[in-house]
């Protein structure tokens, strides 16, 4: 049988839950989501540092990543809000007189796709 009921799961059965189990389960789910985002963030930071040597500081929430870049002595904050898989890298580049932030997604096959349109991007001078 591919799926087990909750009562059959040996892992769930080992978690001591009180009568307030619904709240406890919500707390466990929140912790798992936080850990997953931290794992994704580590991968995003690593990928971003590999393509953008001017990325200096990294911040995150459950839905967004903010990176401070340094360009010609000026600091700019780029925020990207959206659904991250952990395979993204964020870059800030000079495009004439303007700045352009881009989000790239690295596939398992090694392809790089530009997925900026999947994210809400903001750029601010710091």
Interval 43-82: pLDDT, tens: 999 999 999 999 999 998 878 899 999 998 999 999 999 9
In a domain, 13, yes or no: no
What is the distance in angstroms between the CA of the first residue and the CA of the last residue of the chain?
55
116, 119, 125, 126 alpha-carbon torsion, rounded to 10°: -130
Q: Are 54 and 71 in contact (CB under 8 A)?
A: yes
**Residue 114 included in any domain:** yes
Q: Which two tokens stand for residue 13?
A: 């059965």
Is residue 91 a part of any domain in this protein? Answer: yes
**Which pair of structure tokens corresponds to residue 112?**
């790089």
Residue 14 — φ and ψ, nearest 5°?
A: -85, -15
Q: Provide the domain limits for residue 66.
A: 18-125
The pTM (predicted TM-score) of the whole model is 0.75
115 close to 103: Cβ distance less than 8 angstroms: yes
Per the structure block, which two tokens stand in for 109?
Answer: 């096959």
Task: Report whether 45 contacts 58 (CB < 8 A).
Answer: yes
In this prediction, residue 6 has a pLDDT band, given cuts at 50, 70 and 90, of very low
Work out the pLDDT band at 89, boundaries 50, 70, 90.
very high
pLDDT recorded at residue 1: 40
| Domain annotation covers residue 71 | yes
Number of domains in the chain: 1
Residue range 91-99: average pLDDT? 91
Residue % of the chain over a pLDDT of 70: 88
| Share above pLDDT 90 across residues of the chain, in percent, rounded to a whole number | 51
């Amino acid at each position: 049988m591919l799926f087990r009921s909750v009562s059959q799961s040996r892992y769930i059965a080992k978690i001591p839950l009180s009568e307030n189990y619904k709240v406890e389960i919500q707390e466990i789910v929140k912790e798992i989501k936080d850990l997953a985002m931290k794992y994704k963030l580590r991968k995003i930071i690593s990928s971003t540092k590999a393509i953008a040597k001017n990325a200096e500081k990294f911040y995150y929430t459950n839905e967004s990543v903010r990176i401070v870049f340094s360009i010609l002595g000026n600091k700019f904050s780029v925020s990207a809000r959206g659904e991250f898989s952990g395979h993204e890298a964020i870059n800030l580049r000079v495009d004439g007189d303007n700045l352009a932030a881009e989000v790239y997604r690295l596939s398992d096959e090694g392809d790089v796709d530009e997925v900026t349109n999947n994210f809400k991007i903001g750029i601010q001078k710091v």
